[in-house]
Structure 1
């Protein structure tokens, strides 16, 4: 327990307090008046405050200038240390961000977390939309995507020749000009998507006035493509407003993110705290861009205080605000639907535990499957289901060499995976009792325990160590396992095909005159198969490998697009 005498040294000032047990932080809080807040903790006779004071053996405080600084520091410390008694915001899936590096000449990339340095923009709803947006913005702002050291770059890369990069790394543009354009891009990524339209229209009109109709047409196509990408997300507001809608219940919060009138994010989080605590973590810890307005179901004094500190307006729509009211209703409808799915899936998983005699409810299942090409180049897929839903960002693929034995492949995969990683609640293998036993043998060899089940390929019978379990085709448990089996199979086969296709293209290029190791590497980086190479234009290939090598390549393909 923390010595109450510690209170004697605490000032009546704003700051953050940290309860510790050993080297671990167990609770972090903020206060306008540290002395007053901590005194209430020590005087508590019931509840969480009493538990924290009794469990902790040390107390630290950090003084700050004002309440806003305390808010930001508290949120960042909670995000960093994840104390057990603080409510933590958990993503129901990993949402993508666009990251701008902090190099002298920054590069951009799509990432799945806010780890590392640089500026992060997002989160966005899904990777597909983020990639489409990223590609359109590349054509407009021509930013770097390579991570190479500038001193090592002697010639422009293929992105420069394809009009996707300005060539700043080889002096085709000054660093100042590049960074000036990047500042405009940062404004766009902060939510001002209308700036893209204005910028592209200006470029299009400039080229048209100069009678440069070819480049004017390129910008027209970019504008059409951008509109198509954004409208696919749904135009929800006629005015170009930046706002979020936040609703929550049953420890689940849903956020609709609208930028320039477009819906760019529908995000779902698990969180056991209040709306005010959620808002703090979402905007401060996760660094989500601040909107102008946040629509909520009700306002509190705490939200009013946050409004002043964060500089955003919290609005409870009235019936007269038809658009805002409809938007809030739509968010509540989506939240209720998502909660229904979560509850339904959890009920199925609890049923699975009972039917199959598992040691725990399989909230996290990892499924594995083995695939090979003509007995060679064996690969494995590992997929993840959490709460009955896929977690594609956690999928993994493994090359296992030329092992022909499925059982040995499973043993190798189990050892490679779980020697370093935590076990799930359940391991699923595509196969029967032989595959199940192979998984158990590998787990035993590394000194770990976990339930393992399989699904016989034709009979759709669930295989466990204790015997087979037959379920009707309509049974929700079997439907979930079939979905899991089909997904593991799809991922493993796709990986095997991709490797075979890559080897096929490499073998094809080996036979062509004028295609040496360097040109082969360039083509393999750009194209994944012979079929994809066939679809490329002569001009595109010439930019990559030159005229003579292109002519030789096209002759081998028996394909001249221009003829």
Structure 2
């Protein structure tokens, strides 16, 4: 729309409060609220920034909804932004995209990482780094033996499953542990997620020290890394909220904002009766820069976040949102809003700001990649690789990273036609993904960038697949030998310490790992590969897999390493070495 079209549309609008939308066909580009719809929409004839000017130019029409009050307009705008996620709005990226940990509502609770928790479950989170959550949950299961199986698999068992054999579960299903003792272990896990880090850190530290004394240095190093993750899991400042609030405010939320480029992180600390009981971080898209960016982020975050949640008694903020409608709504709801300058409350805001800045490293990488490649965004990346053995057992991997972290729920893999042609295999893999996206058969959002494991040939094959399917997504390749980043029109040789290169390397390496893992699964049948070895029974097979991780790990082990496994003698070790 040009300026004249905007003025013409504005002239038809009422002077009442309401919400307006700039639309491009079915796509919502921008949602805004107004005290006076006619005046507010008319202002877009002279946009305040180049980004908004591009949005207006792209829009085909403007739709409005009139409300009775300014407060209604505020809440309607928040709900519409959450529902449509318009590209040009400051918007909260729904915290459902982050992993949660749940303990199910069962006599023998299951521990599980999920994005869709059960209604009656005890839920912790959300957390921003799924890799850290996976490390912590595995450490908790190894320490306390909580089950990870579904209720269906739990019921009616007559012997423990493999999780019991490898030390991840204490097998309450078959009475290896009583329900009372299991409940004590569940309580320890609850205490950990409620902030008592020592519940897990202490046994890990003891195990690390014992492994070091036994000269099991690799295991000690692994435990050390796990201990570092556990100790950092809850962040800082558990003691910052320690005094009973003298204002009589039972629930207080403290918000901190860290802005970098077109992204922001809002950290929320929640205290009840003077005790910190919850911490979480949320990613916010903040497309416009400027000195008032933090107030704009707060003005957008607060109504979007609290529209469907219980408001606290007080909000402590680093700056005033500077939004009269928001202030009126919070005042009407009885929420005290303060920007403390000193004292205990000021320290709480400082703590929230530190929590907001904690996740800045990941955004550095995505922001650096976006700038280096000149693309609109790099928040969601899909990596592709192909693995085969001389054209046999050909498979492809499609892994997903969001905000620089693995999103394993969105991993996909594909068995491909058998042929010894890397370019044709890559083209088939990317075309499979592209056609599913174009035809609406893939439930994942479109990525901001595709990363191809390979060089110019693989990238050219990927571009052919994208053109054939009609899927408009940027694609680059990362060549292994010299770590060159290849695009359709140039090649980048970034420094080894470049943050954008580190991000692409992680995606590339994960795509390669996932492809090789699937290839080996097809090539090696675990039961027959080991069961065909004389002297290997079910128990010995389990010990071997537990010790070396996979059939491939057993295959690569030395005879001496094989003999170190209980039940494997010299002759059996030699037979394994010969057969595998």
Give TM-score, length-normalised by structure 2. 0.59
379, 396, 405: which one aligns with 2:421: 405
Equivalent positions of 1:286-435 (< 5 A) are 296-299=317-320, 302=326, 306=330, 316=340, 318=342, 324=348, 327=351, 330=354, 344-350=368-374, 366-383=382-399, 393=408, 396-400=412-416, 402-421=418-437, 427-431=450-454, 434-435=457-458
Matched residue of 1:372: which SS?
Answer: strand
Q: How far is the alpha carbon of 1:417 from its aligned partner?
A: 0.7
The one of 130, 146, 150 aligned to 1:147: 150
When residues 431 and 236 of structure 1 are mapped into structure 2, their CA distance, relative to the original with a 3 A threshold, is closer
1:471-482 map, 5 Å: 473=493
**1:528 equivalent in alignment to 2:568:** no
Distance 2:181 2:391 in 1: 55
Q: Counterparts of 1:416 and 1:91 in 2: how far apart (Å)?
A: 29
1:488 aligns with 2:503: no
- Give the whole-Å Cα distance in 1 for the aligned partners of 2:75 and 2:187: 25
Conservation of the 8 A alpha-carbon contact between 1:317 and 1:324? no
Shift of 1:345: 3.8
Gaps of 5+ in 2: 1-8, 45-55, 204-223, 243-252, 288-295, 439-445, 576-580
CA deviation after TM superposition for structure 1 residue 98, in Å: 0.8
Which residue of the partner structure matches residue 134 of structure 1? 137
The CA distance in 2 between the partners of 1:241 and 1:391, in whole Å, is: 33
Pairwise CA distance, 1:416? 1.3
Deviation at 1:523, TM superposition (A): 8.0
Contact 1:427 1:452 in 2 (8 A): yes
Q: Which moved more, 1:311-320 or 1:405-414?
A: 311-320
Matched, 1:275 2:295: no
Question: Whole-Å Cα distance in 2 between the matches of residues 138 and 376 of structure 1?
Answer: 38
Per the TM alignment, residue 275 of structure 1 is displaced from its structure 2 partner at its CA by: 0.7
* CA deviation after TM superposition for structure 1 residue 455, in Å: 6.1
Change (3 A) 1:342 1:38: closer
**Partners of 1:299 and 1:227 in 2: how far apart?**
39
Q: Mapping of 1:192-271 within 5 angstroms?
A: 192-193=195-196, 196=199, 229-233=229-233, 236-237=236-237, 239=239, 241=241, 245-249=255-259, 252-256=263-267, 268-271=283-286
The answer to whether the Cα contact below 8 Å between 2:201 and 2:231 also exists between their aligned partners in 1 is no
Q: 2:19, 2:76 within 8 Å by CA — same for their partners in 1?
A: no
After TM superposition, the score normalised by the length of structure 1 is 0.60
5+ residue gaps, structure 1: 11-15, 30-36, 201-223, 354-359, 542-549
**Which among 459, 462, 471 is matched to residue 439 of structure 1?**
462
Tell me how far 1:435 sits from its aligned partner.
3.3
1:88 corresponds, among 77, 87, 91, to 91
Distance 1:229 1:339, change over 3 A: closer
1:492, CA displacement in angstroms?
A: 1.7
User: Structure 2 CA distance, aligned partners of 1:248 and 1:480?
Assistant: 20
Q: Secondary structure at the match of 1:402?
A: coil
Q: CA deviation at 1:146?
A: 0.5
Indicate how the Cα distance of structure 1 residues 349 and 43 shifts in structure 2: closer, same or farther if over 3 A, else same: closer
Deviation (angstroms), 1:182: 5.6
Contact in 1 for aligned 2:383/2:451 (Cα 8 Å): yes
- Retained in 1: the 8 A contact 2:366–2:503? no
CA distance in 2 between partners of 1:333 and 1:441 (Å): 41
From the superposition, tell whether residues 488 and 231 of structure 1 become closer, same or farther in structure 2 (CA, over 3 Å): closer
Task: Rate the CA distance shift 1:308–1:188 in 2: closer, same or farther, 3 A.
Answer: farther
Q: Deviations over 1:189-221 (max 9, x none)?
A: 3x3437958999xxxxxxxxxxxxxxxxxxxxx
Which is worse superposed, 297-306 or 137-146?
Answer: 297-306
What is residue 520 of structure 2 aligned with on the other side? 500
Distance 1:23 1:486 in 2: 36
Q: Report the CA distance shift for 1:475/1:386 in structure 2 as closer, same or farther (over 3 A).
A: farther
Match of 2:161 in 1: 157
**In 2, distance between residues paired with 1:557 and 1:252?**
56
Rounded to whole Å, the distance in 2 between the matches of 1:305 and 1:258 is 21
Distance in 1 (alpha carbons) for counterparts of 2:506 and 2:140: 36
Shift of 1:100: 3.6
What is the DSSP-based 3-state SS (H/G/I as helix, E as strand, rest coil) of the residue aligned with 2:384?
strand
Q: CA RMSD in A?
A: 6.4
CA contact (8 A) 2:103 2:112 kept: yes
Q: Distance in 1 between matches of 2:229 and 2:481?
A: 42
Change (3 A) 1:494 1:123: same
Q: 1:372 to 1:172 in 2, by over 3 A?
A: closer
> Residues of 1 paired with 2:424 and 2:327: CA distance?
58
Determine if contact 2:401/2:507 at 8 Å carries over to the other structure. Answer: no
**Contact 1:303 1:314 survives alignment (8 Å):** no
Cα distance between partner residues in 1 of 2:502 and 2:34: 54
Pick closer, same or farther for the CA change 1:323–1:470 going to 2, 3 Å.
closer
Are 1:107 and 2:128 counterparts?
A: no
Q: Is the 8 A contact 2:477 2:487 kept in 1?
A: yes
- In 1, the alpha carbon distance for the partners of 2:170 and 2:123 equals 22
Superimposed CA distance per residue, residues 214-260 of structure 1 (whole angstroms, 9 cap, x where no aligned partner): xxxxxxxxxx9997654344863372748755114465432456798
Q: How many residues are treated as equivalent by the alignment? A: 489
- Whole-angstrom CA distance in 2 between matches of 1:39 and 1:257: 29
2:524 is paired with a residue of what secondary structure? Answer: helix
Give the equivalent residue in structure 2 for 1:511: 532
**Larger CA deviation: 176-185 vs 241-250:** 176-185
Taking structure 1 as reference, are residues 167 and 372 closer, same or farther at Cα in structure 2, changes over 3 Å only?
closer
Partners in 1 of 2:225 and 2:479 — Cα distance? 46
User: Distance between the aligned counterparts of 1:70 and 1:553, measured in 2?
Assistant: 76
Residues 435-474 of structure 1 mapped to structure 2, 5 A cutoff: 435-448=458-471, 454=477, 469=490, 473=493
Deviation, 1:145, is 1.3
Distance 1:440 1:391 in 2: 24
